[in-house]
Amino acid sequence: MNTVTLAILVPLLPFLAGGAGLLLGGRAPGLVRPLAVLPTLAAAVLAILVAARQGGGEAIDAATRYTPTGSVPIDLALHLDGFAVLIAALVGVVACCVQLYSIGYLRDDERYSSYAALVSLFTAAMFLVVYSGDLMVLLIGWEVMGICSYFLIGHYWETAEARSASIKAFLVTKLGDVPFLLGVFALGVDAGTFRINGILTTVVSGPGLDHPTLIALLLLAGAVGKSAQVPLQTWLPDAMAGPTPVSALIHAATMVAAGIYVVARLLPVFAASTAALVVMAVIAALTMVGSALSALAQDDVKRVLAYSTIGQLGYMTGALAVGSRDAAVFHLLSHGAFKALLFLGAGVLIHAAGTNSLTEISRMPRLRAAIPDAYWTMTAGLLALAAIAPFSGFFSKEAVLSAAEHATGSHAPPGVPAAGAWIVLVAGLATALLTAAYAARLWLLAFHGRSGEPAPAEAPQGPPGEAELEAAALGEPAPGHHRPAPVMNAVLWVLFVPTLAFGLTYPLLPDWFGGGSLAPTLATTALGSALAVAGILVMYAAWRRTAAAPASAPRAGTDPGRLLLGPALHRQAAAGFHVDALYHRLFVRPVLAAAELVRFLDRQVIDTYVSGAGALPRLLGTLVRRTQTGNVQTYLSVLLAGSLALGIAAVVAVTGS
């Protein structure tokens, strides 16, 4: 098979598996797991094979005219360059890991068949976005991901939290999708084509766009919504109401990555507008710092990781704002590996704690001995998140900081404003400190508890029993803890490999990305690493200080994050700086008030007119109905009386004439 045929099969296999799973899952339960895993595994293998064949060389394009539109044509087009094939390989690997992990994590879930089918459709949609060479075809995958996320986030629809989160994710992302759609149409009309290659040719070496700033900002709105950037970031932390494997898929390789990927593909469009790049830089800075502060104040382990994802996506947006597509995609690939590891590790952590409802890191029992696989792999993932060498996050984050530092000088890429570069650089360095601090906090609280505390508050305070001692001696979970399925641990070790080693491939990536060096520079490396180490040390000192708090103290009083931020800032950060409350006042309340007004007008005004219009016929009907007595004598009497009246009238008329 040629490379194009293999690339067509990559999204097709999980799409067919998803359709078959939805149709046959309830009728053939024995097929559910094979349909979930095998096509996704095959797609992952084919994506890796496509990447190997493409090899970072010349882009491979294939297209066929979908339909004549009379104006701008729509093509079924594939575009396989170094960016696309590497991201597709990441999507395939993470999706396969999620499907395998879900076998153990959701083995008792009665809706597993529909869940697995939707994950397959989700994966197919992301493959379509990555490989698509035409914006209209890309939109299909873009929207399919939106509807799949709605169903997957609301998987536990019995709970109000899941229902609310799924609706919120759908509506908030749609706020970005509407201007994104308008931007795609405007871009196609300006360029005369929806083919991405044709658009970029028009922008770079052609006549250019008529409205570059407007188009760039419309497209940016869609990316901001999909990738949960300020001001549309509020849906992502609430999306943690879905199953943990879904969180891993959304955060690592599909939905939130799609917005960054599309901006990276269309970066020359954004570079044509200095104003758009400045807006992007400001959004990136606010996202990085705000999400890092919020992560430092969260108690729910999944919400910590959710805000972490928002911040890391902010780094990618910042790299794009300074004109470095290479650094943005490098961090996208690196982040996808270690964030999938962290979310799946969090699933093991929650699972081992004994219940899926126990997600607060301040309440978790010490589980280091109970889940050694999750402990060591999550430690690696958190070190990568904190950008500690030699883990992958160190190299990719330093590539972003180096790109920002480079753009502040005289050798900045064309059109990149120095002010935007300085904004990204300063915010990136501040976020490096905060990221290391909240990563250390999560590790310390989740695996080691409060410093100096002999046992978790929920555990018995007396001497351990025989069962506890035996479990500790064997390194097994204590009674009441759930042992993770072997496949769950295996997946963690699979993701551990790129988390540790992928960053070391940065000398090879320029060949795939077709451009400049990704090597970290001395200045940003020294400063960024010093800030990361400082963040870890400060958090460790704060954690040790909590040992002085009495065991009866409230959890908030023993939180090292609260100790560092102070009560006032901690309270604001824990609430996400009340952005949700602001939106509730600005948008939700007016909409509800308008709905109440419409309801009043419908019931009290329109219904009154309708009721009045029916009153007269009802009255006439009542009068006529009373004349229908069923008495023949009455009918004859009325008939005779009427005939007599008519006769008298006739005589009077004749006499009068």
**Selected residue with higher pLDDT from 647 and 228:** 228
**Does residue 575 register a pLDDT over 50?**
yes
* Residues 217-222, mean pLDDT to the nearest whole number: 96
Cβ neighbours of residue 296 under 8 Å, at least 6 residues apart?
434, 437, 438, 441, 561, 564, 565, 573
Run of H or E residues at 80: strand 74-80
Confidence of residue 69 (pLDDT cuts 50, 70, 90): low
**Selected residue with higher pLDDT from 74 and 120:** 120
Confidence of residue 98 (pLDDT cuts 50, 70, 90): very high
Query: For the ranges 158-172, 462-476, 589-603, 625-639, which has the lowest average pLDDT?
Result: 462-476
**Selected residue with higher pLDDT from 287 and 634:** 287
* Residues 115-134, mean pLDDT to the nearest whole number: 96
> Which SS3 state, helix, strand or coil, does residue 417 take?
coil
**Does residue 143 register a pLDDT over 60?**
yes
Average pLDDT, the chain: 88
CA distance linking residue 579 with residue 293, whole number of Å: 14
* Residues 569-596, mean pLDDT to the nearest whole number: 91
The pLDDT score that the predictor gives to residue 160 is: 92
Cβ neighbours of residue 194 under 8 Å, at least 6 residues apart?
72, 73, 74, 75, 134, 135, 136, 184, 187, 188
pLDDT over 70, % of the chain: 91
Q: Could you read off the pLDDT of 350-380 as tens digits, one per residue?
A: 887 765 445 788 777 777 888 999 999 999 9
**Does residue 226 register a pLDDT over 80?**
yes
The pLDDT score that the predictor gives to residue 625 is: 75
The pLDDT score that the predictor gives to residue 52 is: 95
**Does residue 67 register a pLDDT over 70?**
no
Confidence of residue 270 (pLDDT cuts 50, 70, 90): very high
The pLDDT score that the predictor gives to residue 6 is: 95
The pLDDT score that the predictor gives to residue 17 is: 95
CA distance linking residue 373 with residue 475, whole number of Å: 11
The pLDDT score that the predictor gives to residue 350 is: 85
Query: For the ranges 73-82, 124-133, 178-187, 382-391, which has the lowest average pLDDT?
Result: 73-82
Query: For the ranges 69-83, 90-104, 449-463, which has the lowest average pLDDT?
Result: 449-463
CA distance linking residue 324 with residue 397, whole number of Å: 12
Confidence of residue 75 (pLDDT cuts 50, 70, 90): confident
The answer to whether the Cα torsion of 91, 94, 97, 98 is positive or negative is: negative
- Backbone region of residue 360 per phi and psi (left: phi > 0; alpha: psi in -120 to 50; beta: other values): beta
**Selected residue with higher pLDDT from 69 and 162:** 162
pTM: 0.88
The pLDDT score that the predictor gives to residue 368 is: 83
The pLDDT score that the predictor gives to residue 587 is: 87
The pLDDT score that the predictor gives to residue 288 is: 97
Rg from Cα positions in the chain: 32
**Selected residue with higher pLDDT from 609 and 91:** 91
Cβ neighbours of residue 43 under 8 Å, at least 6 residues apart?
9, 10, 11, 13, 14, 92, 95, 96, 123, 127
Kindly state the tokens that stand for 610: 């309708």
- CB-hemisphere CA count at 13 Å for 656? 6
The pLDDT score that the predictor gives to residue 477 is: 41
Is the separation of the CB atoms in 407 and 318 below 8 Å?
A: no
Provide the residue count of the chain: 657
**Selected residue with higher pLDDT from 347 and 482:** 347
* Residues 189-213, mean pLDDT to the nearest whole number: 91
The pLDDT score that the predictor gives to residue 344 is: 96
Q: Could you read off the pLDDT of 482-508 as tens digits, one per residue?
A: 678 899 999 999 999 999 999 888 888
Q: Could you read off the pLDDT of 161-190 as tens digits, one per residue?
A: 999 999 999 999 999 999 999 999 999 999
Q: Would you list the domain boundaries of the chain?
A: 273-453+474-538, 581-656
Through-space distance between the first and last CA atoms of the chain, rounded to whole angstroms: 107
CA distance linking residue 309 with residue 325, whole number of Å: 19
CA-based nearest residue to 84, from 218, 240, 258, 238? 258
Q: Return the HEC string of 326-348.
A: HHHHHHHHHHHHHHHHHHHHHHH
Confidence of residue 467 (pLDDT cuts 50, 70, 90): very low
